[in-house]
């Protein structure tokens, strides 16, 4: 007996430049019946924008999942979960109905679907209800250190990945105990992250990367950024290791 066809995809599109998209991702992107993307109200999703070079705009195929909140409420506030839990429940139910109607559904993800992605909240709700495939991708952090020309780990260097949403003291503690680091979820957390890097003694090695691999790419030593710099969503900080070299 043949296996049921895969109906639900988590589609990693890579760091931004469509040339970094995998062959598998492109194949699914071109063939899926529904292209799902998360977005803020009134905007197209970042992942959907990455896909433009391959499939263009196609309203008949698209499902936009509009976040009820984004950064208006802190992620650790009870109101945040109260708003997002029903949003993900309703989105999962809607996509499940699509698959039960015989359609293939691809959730578009910038970077890799299993790295700080909203897709994961749909995946754990649907993975046991519908045949599922997650298509991995070049992550945003990989695109960032590659474009910066900064090998991230040498020899036995330990790499730590931290979200900038952590409290400053916790950021400093974790950064102080590592050889190399990537700080995700930057945005308005940049001043706090900058202070934590200074406490950890890593400020001079820190590199700010914005929109890695994209046309608007910006790569600059963190020390050269103005104190009041406004970091966008597609930004992170890398701290290359200095380990064993032969």
pLDDT tens digits for range 20-32: 999 999 999 999 9
pLDDT at 2: 46
Instruction: Report the C-alpha gap between 143 and 146 in whole angstroms.
Output: 5
The phi and psi torsions of 32 (rounded to 5 degrees) equal -65, 145
Structure confidence by residue, pLDDT tens digits, 130-189: 999 999 999 999 999 999 999 999 999 999 999 999 999 999 999 999 999 999 999 999
Q: Which whole-number Å values give the CA distances from 183 to 39, 83, 204, 229, in the listed order?
A: 23, 26, 15, 16
CB atoms within 10 A of CB 47: 26
pLDDT at 233: 80
pLDDT(58) > 90: no
The phi and psi torsions of 146 (rounded to 5 degrees) equal -70, -45
Q: Between residues 155 and 58, which one has the greater pLDDT? A: 155
What mean pLDDT value characterizes the chain?
A: 93
Scan for tokens 């298509």, then name that residue: 135
The phi and psi torsions of 227 (rounded to 5 degrees) equal -60, -30
pLDDT(11) > 90: yes
Q: Between residues 75 and 241, which one has the greater pLDDT? A: 241
Percent of the chain residues topping a pLDDT of 90: 80
Of the CA atoms within 13 Å of residue 83, those in its CB half-sphere come to: 15
pTM of the model: 0.91
CB atoms within 10 A of CB 97: 11
Q: Which whole-number Å values give the CA distances from 79 to 38, 65, 203, in the listed order?
A: 20, 19, 35
Torsion of CA 185, 140, 202, 160, to 10 degrees: 80
Asked if residues 45 and 64 have their Cβ atoms less than 8 Å apart, the reply is yes
Asked if residues 171 and 193 have their Cβ atoms less than 8 Å apart, the reply is yes
Lowest mean pLDDT among 11-25, 40-54, 59-73: 59-73
Instruction: Report the C-alpha gap between 101 and 108 in whole angstroms.
Output: 20
**Domains by residue range for the chain, with CATH:** 8-138 (3.40.1010.10), 141-239 (3.30.950.10)
Mean pLDDT, residues 78-85: 77
pLDDT at 178: 97
Q: Which whole-number Å values give the CA distances from 37 to 65, 68, 214, 223, in the listed order?
A: 6, 14, 19, 35
DSSP state of 14: B
């Amino acid at each position: 007996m043949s296996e049921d066809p895969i109906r639900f995809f988590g589609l990693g599109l890579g760091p931004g430049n469509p040339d970094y998209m995998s062959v598998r991702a492109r194949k699914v992107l071109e063939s899926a019946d529904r292209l799902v993307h998360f977005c803020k109200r009134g905007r197209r999703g970042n992942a959907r924008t990455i896909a433009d070079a391959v499939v263009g705009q196609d309203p008949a195929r698209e499902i936009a999942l509009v976040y009820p909140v984004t950064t208006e409420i802190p992620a650790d506030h009870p109101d945040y979960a109260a708003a997002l839990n029903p949003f993900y429940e309703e989105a999962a139910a809607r996509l499940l109905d699509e698959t039960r109607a015989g359609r293939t559904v691809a959730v578009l993800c910038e970077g890799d679907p299993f790295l700080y992605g909203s897709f994961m909240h749909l995946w754990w709700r649907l993975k046991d209800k519908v045949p599922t495939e997650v298509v991995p991708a070049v992550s945003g952090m990989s695109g960032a250190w590659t474009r910066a020309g900064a090998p991230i780990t040498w020899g036995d260097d330990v790499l730590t990945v931290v979200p900038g949403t952590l409290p400053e003291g916790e950021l400093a503690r974790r950064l102080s105990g590592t050889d190399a680091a990537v700080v995700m979820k930057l945005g308005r957390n940049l001043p706090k992250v900058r202070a934590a890097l200074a406490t950890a003694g890593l400020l001079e090695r820190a590199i700010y990367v914005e929109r890695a691999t994209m046309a608007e790419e910006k790569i600059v030593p963190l020390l050269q950024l103005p104190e009041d710099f406004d970091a966008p969503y597609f930004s992170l900080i890398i701290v290359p290791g200095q380990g064993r070299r032969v």
